[in-house]
Amino acid sequence: MTEIKHLIWTLPLCLLLSNGRFSNYFLHKYPEKRRNVSLSSQAEIGSENIHTLFLNKFFTGNYLDESLKNSVSNRLSDYNRFGADWTSELRYENMNDSLLGKNWGYLAAFKNRIYAEGQFNRYAFDLPFYGNAPFAGNEISTSGTTGFMMMYQQFQLGFVKTWQRPKSQHVFAFGLSYINGNQLYEARIDSNRILTSNDAESVFVQLDGYIYRNDPAYNTFFANNGSGLGLDLQYQFSQNNHILSVQALDIGFISWERPGEYYRIDSSLHYNGIIIDNLFTTDGSEFTQFIDSLNQNYVKKEITNPGFRMLPAILHISYAYQFLDGRILLQTGVDARYSAHYFPSMYVRGIFYPHQRIMIAGSIGYGGFGTLNTGLDLGIDFGKGYTLSIHTRNLEGLVPNTFATGLSAGFKLSRYF
């Protein structure tokens, strides 16, 4: 029986009810310690075609030269995915709680998640970064460009049950979360046409789309703009050196109840220049009046609530096999999301313990918000139950370059006791 228990807790389990690509790498060091408290944070940003050199230059206050813009523009397709996910979590686990019964455990967690995704038409990149002059005489469109960003806080309570057999083990975990819908931004261009005349005498713009934002008065961290529920499920089967795990996380919704601001445009404008009625009496206010008139005549503001939005649920399936008494593990898996813009991400990973207190893992994958990616995980056991691991799924993006299209990083600091 002891051996089986040892088997359960010494394999590098996927984190229970948490991001499946992150593991408990040093659980085997503390077989008798059933409680754990941890702080973790992981962020990723990715796109099919916007490479890391561009992201690095853009987000660090640099000049974006023509060759840099060209290196992105030349690889753009008609529609291009992008996304970002930043989850931070504080959690407590107790895997052998006597109150709940034999082989029951529980966990409690507080999470904050910022999630954004969308897609953009190639001209949604080219127009702001090249201007309209290169397209004079040709009608261009940014139709289909869409994106949203939501931030929510999750208060989770989960339970874990294990069933032990002579040669195998089954673990089932489920968790329920109350979700505080904190911030939501959405933008969508349903239809758009832009035509600049060759002689520069006119610019025609047709636009049907909207931008939504929360009530700015309720935009601080923790502000409640809506509420929701989330369900996390996980099943893990292990036998001998094989481990199979299936996770379904963040199955749920947020009802965004507090009215926010929709700015809708469904108009066309044939712009021939700002009209100065009288050169003798003008004070130059026509320019600001023109901007005001655009707001008044073309932008329709509505105060309403956006209603239900599904959470970006995650489905993660992984299989792992250990060699050499667990000094080497090979893992493969796929994760998918409830998202039109997240391509199912497949990966293989090798986990190696060169020293009993050090873990190094390397991975290669394809999909997600980006494309091909390589990962590196490093873990250190400081002793007395303290461990730290850091990781990236985009090693190729650590040094900004023009072929990698994702950036990610994360850490987990935990203590077993």
Partner 1 sequence: MKKTFSHLFFLFAIICIQCSCSLDGTSWDIDGKGPVLQTQFDLSQAIPDPHLQYAADSAIMLNFYDTVYTVDVDSIAYIPDSSYLFNITWTLPNINLQPGVSLPAFPIKIRFGIHERIKLNAARIKSGRLKIKIKSVIPRKINIQYNIPNATYYGIPFSLSETIPAASAGDTIVYSTHLNLKDYYVDLRGPNLNEYNVLYIYLTPTLNENEPALPLSTGQFLFSTENTLEKVNPFYAQGFVVPATDSINSNIIDLGTSRYIRSGILDIDSIRMGITLVNTMGVDMRLKIDKFRSINDATGQQIELTHPIINSFINLQTAQNTYNTTNPVLPYNYTLWLTPQNSNLDQLIENIPDRFRINSIAQINPMGDATADNNFFYTTVPPRFIFHIQAPVKFSVYQVQFIDTLDNPLFEEIEIEKFLSGEFRIIAENKFPLALAANIYTLDDAGLLTDTLFTQSLISPAPVNAANRVTFPLISNLLAPFNEAKIKNITSARRIVIKARFNSVPNLQLLQMYSDYYLKLKILADVKYRITL
User: What is the contact surface with partner 1 in residues (CB under 8 A)?
Assistant: 43, 56-66, 69, 128-134, 136, 196, 199-203, 271-281, 286, 378, 380, 388, 390, 392, 398, 407, 409, 411
Within 10 angstroms of residue 408's Cβ, the number of other Cβ atoms is: 25
N-terminal to C-terminal alpha carbon distance within the chain:
22
What is the smallest separation between the CB atom of 388 and partner 1, expressed in angstroms? Answer: 7
Cα distances from 329 to residues 4, 13, 45, 275, 373, in angstroms, run: 19, 11, 28, 71, 20
Count how many residues are written for the chain: 417
- The secondary structure of 112-165 as a DSSP string is EEEEEEEEEEHHHHHHHHH-SGGGTTSEE--TT-EEEEEEEEEEEEEEEEEEE-
- The CB-of-308 to partner 1 minimum distance in angstroms stands at 31
Q: For residue 58, give the DSSP letter.
A: H
Separation between Cα atoms, residue 319 and residue 248, nearest integer Å: 15
CB of 410 to partner 1, least distance (A): 8
If the CB atoms of residues 137 and 166 are measured against partner 1, the closer one turns out to be: 137
Question: Rounded to an integer, what distance in angstroms lies between the CA atom of residue 174 and that of residue 250?
Answer: 11
Separation between Cα atoms, residue 190 and residue 208, nearest integer Å? 6
Compute the half-sphere exposure of residue 252: CA atoms within 13 Å on the CB side of its CA.
21
Closest approach of partner 1 to the CB of residue 71, in Å: 13
Minimum CB separation of residue 409 from partner 1 in Å reads 4
Shortest approach of partner 1 to residue 339 CB, angstroms? 23
CB of 54 to partner 1, least distance (A): 11
Residue 243 CB contacts under 8 Å (≥ 6 apart), including other chains: 11, 13, 236, 237, 318, 319, 320, 321, 322
Nearest residue (CB) to partner 1, 2 versus 288 = 288
What is the Cα–Cα distance from 169 to 20, expressed in whole angstroms?
19
Query: Whose Cβ is closer to partner 1: residue 244's or residue 380's?
Result: 380
157/200 with CB nearer partner 1: 200
CB-wise, 93 or 377, nearer to partner 1? Answer: 377
Residue 251 near residue 233, CB atoms below 8 Å: yes
Q: How far is the CB of 244 from partner 1 (least distance, A)?
A: 31
Residue with tokens 């009209």: 275
Task: Using alpha carbons, select from 356, 375, 352, 354 the residue that is nearest to residue 364.
Answer: 375
Q: Between residues 249 and 407, which has the closer beta carbon with respect to partner 1?
A: 407
Q: Whole-angstrom Cα distance, residue 386 to residue 381?
A: 6
CB nearer partner 1, residue 309 or residue 391 = 391
- The identity of residue 174, as a single letter, is F
Q: Between 98 and 288, whose beta carbon lies closer to partner 1?
A: 288
Angle between helices 66-73 and 52-59 (to 10 degrees): 130
- Give the nearer residue to partner 1 in terms of CB position, either 64 or 340: 64
User: CB 43 → partner 1: shortest distance, Å?
Assistant: 7
Give the closest residue to 244 by CA, choosing from 191, 142, 316, 325: 316
384 φψ region: left (φ > 0), alpha (ψ -120 to 50), beta (else): left
Q: Could you give the CA distance from residue 13 to residue 175 in angstroms, rounded to a whole number?
A: 17
Q: Would you say 230 or 370 has its CB closer to partner 1? A: 370
**Smallest gap from residue 282 Cβ to partner 1 (A):** 8
